[in-house]
Amino acid sequence: MAGVLYQVTRTAAGAAILMVESADVAQRSEASGPDSALASALAVGLTRQEVTVASPTPPMRRERDSMGEMLVPASAYYGASTQRAVLNFPISGLVMPRRLIWALGTIKQAAAIVNRDLGLLDPSVADAIARAAGEVAAGQFDDQFPVDVFQTGSGTSTNMNANEVIANRASELLGGERGTRRLVHPNDQVNLGQSSNDVIPSAIHLAALAALRDDLLPALERLETALRDKSQEFWPIIKTGRTHLQDATPIRLGQEFLGYAGQAERARIRLSRAAEELHELALGGTAVGTGINTHPEFASRVCAWITEHTGLPVRETSNHFQAQSTIDSIVSFSGAVRAAAISVMKIANDIRFLASGPRTGLGELTLPEVQPGSSIMPGKVNPVIAEALIQVGAQVIGNDAVIATAGQWGYFELNTMLPVTAYNLLQEITLLGRAIMNFTDRCVVGIAATSKGPAMLEAGLAIATALVPAIGYDRAAAIAKEAAATGKTIREVARAQTTLTEAELDQLLNPENLVKPGLEGGPASG
């Protein structure tokens, strides 16, 4: 097969299509049909299971990079470097998220404009690059980013994917053809002043900030508002509290929901604080942080343009060497996303347990009925919206574990797990934001309280705590044990075993006194 020009492209199902350009192979293929093409595939190292043969072969064109020529689909905007990556990484079928492509397009657009203004790019070329990059950012070429997530650890394949798509599109805008490299060069012009090593971490930061702003923070704010509304609605309802899954002193249902609202509020605050480090971009460091081959003003000007045009206040990092050799800021931020996921999992779990039953569970809440709950039990309705959120929370915890592991792969001047970091970080932000918004709109706003919580209050044993200031801990404990053994209420046993009057019992066991601080209702011990 020496001297043969060949290529393999992945299908949607993950198989491979082989195209071979060689006089001998073409003759055999024509004579023998697909079998000879399969034999050719096996000759270049593919297994039989990895190969499907496409016939007829789609139109192709030759593209060139520093390693030589490659065949690329004629309709593709990407070039030889991207095609090599497609061949090299037929692993998962997972591609980079939309927001990372947006961030790359935005950075390339800003870079073209800044390089034009610095006199480093011909204005007509720069304007074509900027327009093409803007189209990439807008999503017009998402199908031209086929490189697998599991690729070179720096993300060079994805950076070159962007450079090639933008260069070919810019060439078209200037009246040229795709693949010539004569009008716009992907490295010399689109990538001017940049390296994959500073562009990819910068794109991850920018994309994460956009996802936080557009998806996760609004979802948490909406959840907090809905929970505060429910807190006010449920404030008059007093019920038994629970610690260790056992009866505890009374609490207002509204107080429980106020706690949930506080969780959402604090999750939002933690995320905003953790995101502060994401506002620093590695741009300007190029290969190893020294800034070789870039104008001293390039990074600061690019950041200013991005801030103005996206509303995301980014700035050049004050320490390029840490910005490229680590992903510490991403690890920290992902931890805040994980904390938010764990927090809302607790809320969702509490709500589904409080709604358990409806007859043999706690049954203190009813949830909106959104779909049948069983294929065999008629009339069963399950807390499916809460369960969906809990599953997303588990996914986020897994994503964060990947990112924590990736953070350990910052050897010397570069972290080499940037693509998988980007994928997991953006997925966890977007998934959690969507799941929280769905939980709020399809569950929380429709929650209603039942009478079961208040009805069970008098039967609870923990209200014996309210007797402690009057009769002491030991006597109150004895009353609670007697009530538990006999099935009587605390009031009934206290009436029989103490000299407390009915008026005194009414005062001590008044639910209103048991849900506020102070000694009137006894100490709030746990």
The residues that are catalytic are: 244, 374
Contact (Cβ atoms closer than 8 angstroms) between residue 229 and residue 264: no
Q: Of 409, 418, 410, 356, which is closest to residue 381 (Cα–Cα)?
A: 356
The amino acid that residue 499 corresponds to is: T
Grouping H, G, I as helix, E, B as strand and the rest as coil, residue 258 is helix
In this structure, are strands 280-281 and 315-316 parallel, antiparallel, or unpaired?
A: parallel
Q: Compute, in degrees rounded to 10, the torsion defined by CA atoms 430, 436, 441, 442.
A: 100
509-510-511-512 Cα dihedral, nearest 10 degrees: -140
Structure tokens at 242: 């629970």
| Structure token pair of residue 495 | 């009436």
Closest CA to 280 of 248, 254, 303, 308: 303
Peptide bond preceding 56: is omega within 30 degrees of 0, i.e. cis?
Answer: yes
Give strand pairing partners of 2: none
**Widest pairwise Cα distance in the chain:** 109
For 302, the token pair is 């690019």
Contact 409, 416 (CB under 8 A): yes
Reported residue count of the chain is 526
Extract the tokens encoding 37: 């093409």
Which residue shows structure tokens 């998806």? 215
User: Do 52 and 16 form a contact (C-beta atoms < 8 A)?
Assistant: yes
Backbone torsions φ then ψ of 455, nearest 5 degrees:
-65, -30
Decide: helix, strand or coil at residue 133.
Answer: helix
Q: Which two tokens stand for residue 480?
A: 């609670």
